[in-house]
Structure 1
Amino acid sequence: MAPKWTPKREDFCLELAGEIEPELTTLAERAEAKAERLDALGDKRSHQSNAFMRAADDLSQAFYMGQPILVGHHSEAKARKTQERMHNAMDKSVRAAKAVQYWQWKAAGVERFANMKNNPKTRRNRIKTLLAELRDIQRTLNHAALCLKVWGQATSDEAIEKLAGMRLKTGDLVYWDHLQAYRQGA
């Protein structure tokens, strides 16, 4: 999985997999499946939260009617341990309840993102961006081809020195650091 397709990435994937087949699911179907997985995680955390809350409630029955922990009594250690387990269960219940909110928020975000990607305006803007990038690449390739043609006609050092200072309509014929390296004999 990569954020952007490039020929180099495609070659690497072909080298690893041998063959790349198009995915048969749409963006909306993938988003729906992911939202279902996230909702399932939220449900799981909800069940965990309820289980921890029930456990804390069961443990709290030892303190029903406000019986204090009797300091120095033989039951003190057991009461403190029960109280600690009750507090731990309540903390776990709260953390699981927060996780439920988190997973629901993530599922809603996945659905919002899929809806945004399916919006015709978003697709149109993405196509405009890709076309602009394509034009930039084509301009660079055209300039490089023109430079190769000009440099292919240079046969002597004098011609190279003369061409080195030239500038074409499409850009510089040579970059300054390349010219300096050539002049220094590198």
Structure 2
Amino acid sequence: MNIVNRILELKTVWCSRRIAFWTMKHDFHQRRVNRIAGAEERASKNEAESDRLYQLSQKMADAIPMGQPILIGHHSEKSDRRYREKISVAMKRSVEADHKAAYYSEKAAGIKNNGAIFSDDPEAIVKLEEKLNSLKEMQEFMKAANKCIRKNNKNAFLNLKFGNDRMWDELIQPKFGGQGFAQFTLTNNSANIRRIEKRVLALKNQGQTVAVDMVIKGVRILENREANRLQLFFDGRPVQEVIAKLKQHGFRWCRSEGAWQRHISNNAIYWGRIIAGTVET
């Protein structure tokens, strides 16, 4: 193969990889919808399985005359015991399936009601900044409210944005050793402000840096920011020792991506490099 053909071949491989990368299903909202649908489907299947097994156990139990004991020493004793054991197993599996149905129903509801802001949300920075502004506004209000309460100035309190008669009556009641918003409330809110500020800064800085995309001992390490995952692509299935290390450090197999992955972090990148370095070539 001459050099020109080799260059064309490498270019084709590179292009195909880029196309595969950009066509990955990383739409944040669609993934959320898929997770909800998947949980609801599992809940439905387990609920149906629970009903089927319950009906089966009831049908089997109906074949035994009411109050009929096991006839000890009778030639039917062993088969009767096995039959009753099958009824017990069917009922047990019905209960287990019912518990699974409840688990997945709660999981679907949890995803729907989860108000957390995820870093792979395309609107994460906007949402975080909105939350940050709300926290700062609340911090200023609590400080101003406590000042009004110390001066016993109800009119000034009512002129504050969130001030009202009911809140005033509640805040002037001695609680936690004093009136007004407790000091720990302001401290916790201030800590949340600093935490979100750092997170916004980190996300903005992340957009200005080049994503990790390297190969160590044949293992590709990709910082897939669209999915907010650090992905490790192996040439075939890793040996069991490597799989154990991957799981130990939070990596999980994603069949749709063909990669071992976890949420992006400095720790994830560190262990991704360490694990890739242990692969025998």
TM-score (norm 2): 0.37
The corresponding residue for 2:46 is 45
Matched, 1:68 2:69: yes
- Output aligned runs, 1:1-186, within 5 Å: 17-19=17-19, 20-21=21-22, 26-113=27-114, 115-117=115-117, 122-124=127-129, 125=196, 126-131=199-204
**Shift of residue 123, structure 1, vs aligned partner:** 3.0
**Shift of residue 63, structure 1, vs aligned partner:** 3.0
**Shift of residue 109, structure 1, vs aligned partner:** 2.6
1:20-56 C-alpha deviation (Å, 9 max, x unpaired): 3266774233211221111111111111111111111
Structure 1 residues 128 and 122, CA gap change in structure 2 (3 angstroms):
farther
Work out whether residues 52 and 90 of structure 1, in 8 Å CA contact, stay in contact via their aligned partners in 2: yes
**Shift of residue 104, structure 1, vs aligned partner:** 1.4
Cα distance in 2 between the residues matched to 1:132 and 1:18: 24
- For 2:67, give the aligned amino acid: G
The corresponding residue for 2:161 is none
Work out whether residues 125 and 200 of structure 2, in 8 Å CA contact, stay in contact via their aligned partners in 1: no
Cα distance in 2 between the residues matched to 1:46 and 1:88: 17
The structure showing larger relative contact order (alpha-carbon pairs under 8 Å, at least 6 residues apart) is 1
The corresponding residue for 2:228 is none
Cα distance in 2 between the residues matched to 1:120 and 1:49: 44
**Shift of residue 79, structure 1, vs aligned partner:** 1.4
Greater percentage in helix: 1
Cα distance in 1 between the residues matched to 2:102 and 2:38: 14
Cα distance in 1 between the residues matched to 2:30 and 2:57: 40
- For 1:51, give the aligned amino acid: R
Structure 1 residues 134 and 39, CA gap change in structure 2 (3 angstroms):
closer
Structure 1 residues 16 and 94, CA gap change in structure 2 (3 angstroms):
farther
1:61-110 C-alpha deviation (Å, 9 max, x unpaired): 13342111111112212211110000000111111111111111222232
Cα distance in 1 between the residues matched to 2:207 and 2:37: 37
Cα distance in 1 between the residues matched to 2:110 and 2:57: 33
Moved more, 95-104 or 15-24: 15-24
Contiguous gaps of at least 5 residues in structure 1: 1-13, 138-186
Cα distance in 1 between the residues matched to 2:206 and 2:35: 31
CA RMSD of aligned residues (A): 3.1
Cα distance in 2 between the residues matched to 1:122 and 1:88: 50
Give the number of the structure whose alpha-carbon radius of gyration is greater: 1
- For 1:89, give the aligned amino acid: A
**Shift of residue 111, structure 1, vs aligned partner:** 2.2
The corresponding residue for 2:264 is none
TM-score (norm 1): 0.54
- SS of residue matched to 1:63: coil
Structure 1 residues 133 and 34, CA gap change in structure 2 (3 angstroms):
closer
- SS of residue matched to 1:67: coil
Identical counterparts, % of pairs = 24
- For 1:127, give the aligned amino acid: V
Work out whether residues 39 and 104 of structure 1, in 8 Å CA contact, stay in contact via their aligned partners in 2: yes
- For 1:63, give the aligned amino acid: I
Contiguous gaps of at least 5 residues in structure 2: 1-13, 118-122, 130-195, 210-281
